[in-house]
Amino acid sequence: MFLRPPIIVINYKAYNTSFGPTALLIARAAEEVADDVGVSMIVAPPLTEIKDLVTSIRIPVFAQHVDPIDMGAYTGHIPPEAIKEVGAKGFIVNHSEKRLRVDEIAKLVRKAVGLGLNTLVCADVPEVAAALSLLNPDMIAIEPPELIGTGIAVSKSKPEVILNTVLKVREVNKSIIILTGAGISSADDAAKAVELGTSGILVSSAVMKAKEPKKVLLEMAEAMLKSLT
């Protein structure tokens, strides 16, 4: 999977818009913006919706989480192989709403490499972002948990967290893609994320709860592109 910055990852979470027809609608909007504006777009729907989205759209679909297991007798668990099987291109892992242990994250990144899946690991503070970037996932997102879902963008309210993350991560990992998450709700927030040196954003409620998701995505995409140039 080739990702050209700027990148927008849409974490669907489990809102009432995250399932069924609206799930598809938002994915289509993301695809159109990706095509029209030339940004990289990833959608991360709930596990039950992955197969449907994969067959309907061309942009990469990620799982929001997978379990750190191999295939076998694991009732109620989803191994990385399962989302590969339904056509997902990768997975988010260690989101603040679904944290994992560091040995589990390490195992999942290793498994992803073997399966040809891409990984996006979340971190809450710059030190943890640096630590986890040593495990070599494809992307790392910095998300101060206290800002998630607030509409107060980390890129505006705590720019030093982003700057510090970029600094600390780059000391130990030159190539990892760094994203900004938590509270991103406007085009301006998205632009700021790029200006602070990250390659894109991890966004959720601003899109999932929007009256016009496509408009929100379009404005964010255009603002990020403008900041890049």
List, by residue number, the catalytic residues.
95, 143
Check residue 71 for interaction with a copy of itself (CB under 8 A).
yes
**Min separation Cβ 8 and a copy of itself, Å:** 16
Q: Distance between CA 191 and CA 122 in Å, rounded?
A: 20
Count the residues in the chain: 229
Please list, in sequence order, all residues whose beta carbon lies within 8 angstroms of the beta carbon of residue 30, skipping any fewer than 6 positions away. 8, 10, 41, 43, 57, 59, 213, 217
Q: In degrees to the nearest 10, what's the CA dihedral of 50, 51, 55, 61?
A: 30
Applying CB under 8 A, does 114 fall inside the site for a copy of itself? no
* Site size with a copy of itself, rule: CB under 8 A: 63
Residue from the set 31, 57, 59, 95 that interacts with a copy of itself by CB under 8 A: 95
Stretch of 1-9, 25-33, 69-77, 214-222 lying at the interface with a copy of itself (CB under 8 A): 69-77
Find how far residue 159's CA is from the centre of its chain: 19
Number of Cβ atoms within 10 Å of the Cβ of 163: 14
Using CB under 8 A as the binding rule, whether residue 132 contacts a copy of itself is answered as: yes
Chain residues that interact with a copy of itself, rule: CB under 8 A: 11, 13-16, 18-20, 46-52, 63-65, 69, 71-79, 81-83, 85-86, 92, 94-103, 105-106, 123-125, 127-128, 130-132, 134-136, 148-149, 171-172, 204-205
